[in-house]
Amino acid sequence: MTNVYALLDIGDQKRLEQWGSYLLVRPDPTASGVPKSPQLWKDADAVYEGEKGRGQWRMKNVLPEQWTIDCGDLRLCVRLAPYKHTGVFPEQQKNWTWMRNQAKKQGRPLRILNLFAYTGGATMALAKDGHCITHVDASKPAMRMAKENAALNNLSATAVRWILDDVPTFVARERKRGKTYDAILLDPPAYGHSTTGKTWRMERDLAPLLEACASLLSDQPSFLVLNGYAEHDTPDSFRRLLTGILLSKTPHKNFTIDPRTLVLTAKTGEVLSTGIVARCGFSRTYDSIESS
């Protein structure tokens, strides 16, 4: 097998995925229908059984504690985490490509803020292009894995500013300091909590955080990207939320918002929804922002 990711089949609320040399089965409530290649599922090396947060990995074969896969020009660590995750979200490659193309239009290194940055796929992609990234996450294990990814991708010691902190708290401090960023990426969970016990609830906390982030945009912003996974969120709700905040809270009126559902397509042809995203590209003119 090649050293890449592939969604092989879906069905019965599960995914069958190739992660480099290994086949994994993970639960996914959006994977409806029945598997198209049932025989292939028998070759899985590991299966996550149970619900998220109350399940565990069942090993059918011996797997390494960690291995790597290639995502375009990036190399990323894969690890079987307790909550069914692997540390890599392949559907985000489309966002990474869009952001890299959008940033390239500026013709200069950008100051980019990556919030809820997790293991840092976006951080690696943007830092690889020479941009200065501030990577913020409250999880120590995720931060360790992100730094391992930075080493794998040969990033310089000064390419990324690592911040282990609660995201809203950090953003509030940056506002008081008068800091600005040319681009901001947010990938918040539907629900979560920091190491200090603070809870995050998308429906309660997202809008105030976006308003705070809007005030951190520089006078020549490139983009703002918002990902979402809550059941009640839709591409249109994200579009309306971002439009209202940007028009009321910033002087930047020349922007185009590209809201869409993120998907993965299985080798069988089935399409799996993996979340939503709203990509906002800023321009000095009213020309439309090209999206990938």
Q: Which domains does the chain have, with CATH numbers?
A: 5-78 (2.60.40.1180), 90-282 (3.40.50.150)
What are the start-end ranges of the H helices in the chain? 38-41, 93-104, 121-128, 140-152, 167-177, 202-214, 235-249
Using the structure block, give the residue that is written with the tokens 């579009």. Answer: 239
How many Cβ atoms sit within 10 Å of the Cβ of residue 178? 7
**What does the pLDDT read at residue 216?**
97
Reading the block at residue 12, the tokens are: 């019965």
**pTM of the predicted model, to two decimals?**
0.93
Residue 162, classified by CB atoms within 10 Å of its CB into exposed (0-12), middle (13-18) or buried (19+), is: middle
pLDDT (tens, 9 = 90+) of the chain, 292 residues, equals 579 999 999 999 999 999 999 999 999 999 999 999 999 999 999 999 987 567 899 999 999 999 999 999 999 999 999 889 999 999 999 999 999 999 999 999 999 999 999 999 999 999 999 999 999 999 999 999 999 999 999 999 999 999 999 999 999 999 999 999 999 999 998 877 766 677 878 888 999 999 999 999 999 999 999 999 887 889 999 999 999 999 999 998 899 999 999 999 999 999 999 999 999 999 864 344 343 3
